[in-house]
Amino acid sequence: MKKDIPDRDRLIVALDFPEAAPARALVERLGDAAGFYKIGMELCMAPGFFELLEWLRKQDKKVFVDLKFFDIPETVARAVARLSETGATFCTVHGNQAIMQAAAKAKSGGMKVLAVTALTSLDRGDLDDLGFQCDVAALVLSRAKRALQAGCDGVVSSGLEVAALREYAPRELIVVTPGIRPVDNKTDGDQKRVMTPTRALQAGADHLVVGRPIRDAADPRAAAILIQTEIAETLA
């Protein structure tokens, strides 16, 4: 069952910049080609993070705050409660059941809490290094089940695991998929598990996070429009 999500909001543009000024410049350059943006840890360390968030909201843009909250449950709950006041659409948490439950309980104002499953920068060797004995797919599915049980609204997951997630939770689970690349490839810099927009949507992803393919394009607006066109054609 297709969720009632405007096609334009399926694309989330990652504002991966060291400062707020170039992030704002990209938003202005993209104009109506994008209406949903992700701001994360790098920008959070720079002056103007919350001013940028407020500016995006005043531009009628949706905002995904990707800080992967991980701390004692009460601290995470307070952080989520404060973030809810900003008008953000999504936030992320990365932790055990108690942390996810605290985040889900603290949200308000329509903000959705997404649990991180397995970062798209991790592969089997990385999981071995971290001490996980299961494979990536099993870990992602386990995390997704626990996230829903904790009251979270969805997960962040590589497109490679989305189809399996949909078998478990085909309707209620929001799936945000990073590591999206217009050209199908197996590796790309620090992203080891990537997927094209069409393949991710066909697998069941709700939102696609795209950073470098737009940010580093010769014409970022044209790159965003091309991806938006692919999304619309895939979902038609």
Does residue 91 surpass a pLDDT of 80? yes
**Quick count: other Cβ atoms within 10 Å of Cβ 78?**
13
Q: Give pLDDT, residue 132.
A: 57
pLDDT of residue 179: 87
**Containing domain of residue 144, as a range?**
7-231
Beta bridge partners of 112: 90
What pLDDT band is residue 96 in, cutting at 50, 70 and 90? Answer: confident
81 assigned to some structural domain: yes
Which of 124-138, 169-183, 189-203 reaches the highest mean pLDDT? Answer: 169-183
Residue 131 banded pLDDT, cuts 50, 70, 90: low
* Inter-CA distances, 84 with 63, 108, 110, 181, 190, Å: 11, 6, 8, 30, 30
Q: Classify residue 10 by its DSSP letter.
A: G
In a domain, 207, yes or no: yes
pLDDT of 95: 80
Confidence grade of residue 185 (pLDDT, cut at 50, 70, 90): very low
Residues that are catalytic: 68
Residue 80 vs residue 171, higher pLDDT: 80
Strand 36-40 versus strand 62-69 pairing type: parallel
Q: Judge residue 41's burial from the number of C-beta atoms within 10 Å of its C-beta, 0-12 exposed, 13-18 middle, 19 or more buried.
A: exposed
Q: Is residue 236 part of a domain?
A: no
- The answer as to whether 181 is a domain residue is yes
Separation between Cα atoms, residue 220 and residue 211, nearest integer Å: 10
Q: What is the predicted pLDDT for the residue at 160?
A: 84
Query: pLDDT tens digits for 31-61?
Result: 999 999 999 999 999 999 999 999 999 999 9
In a domain, 159, yes or no: yes
2 inside domain: no
Q: What is the mean pLDDT of the chain?
A: 88
pLDDT of residue 2: 59
In a domain, 1, yes or no: no
Tell me the residue ranges of DSSP E strands in the chain: 11-14, 36-40, 62-69, 90-93, 112-116, 154-156, 174-177, 207-210
| Count of domains observed in the chain | 1
Q: Which residues contact 58 (CB under 8 A, 6 or more apart)?
A: none
- Per residue in 134-178, pLDDT tens? 566 777 788 888 899 999 999 998 888 888 888 887 678 899 999
3-state secondary structure of 181: coil
- In this predicted model, which residue has the larger pLDDT, 91 or 136? 91
Percentage of the chain surpassing pLDDT 70?
86
Report the CATH number at residue 98.
3.20.20.70
**pLDDT given at position 187:** 45
Examine residue 25 and state whether it is found in any structural domain, yes or no: yes
Q: Residue 211: is its pLDDT beyond 90? A: yes
Predicted TM-score of the model (pTM)? 0.89
Contact 213, 182 (CB under 8 A): yes
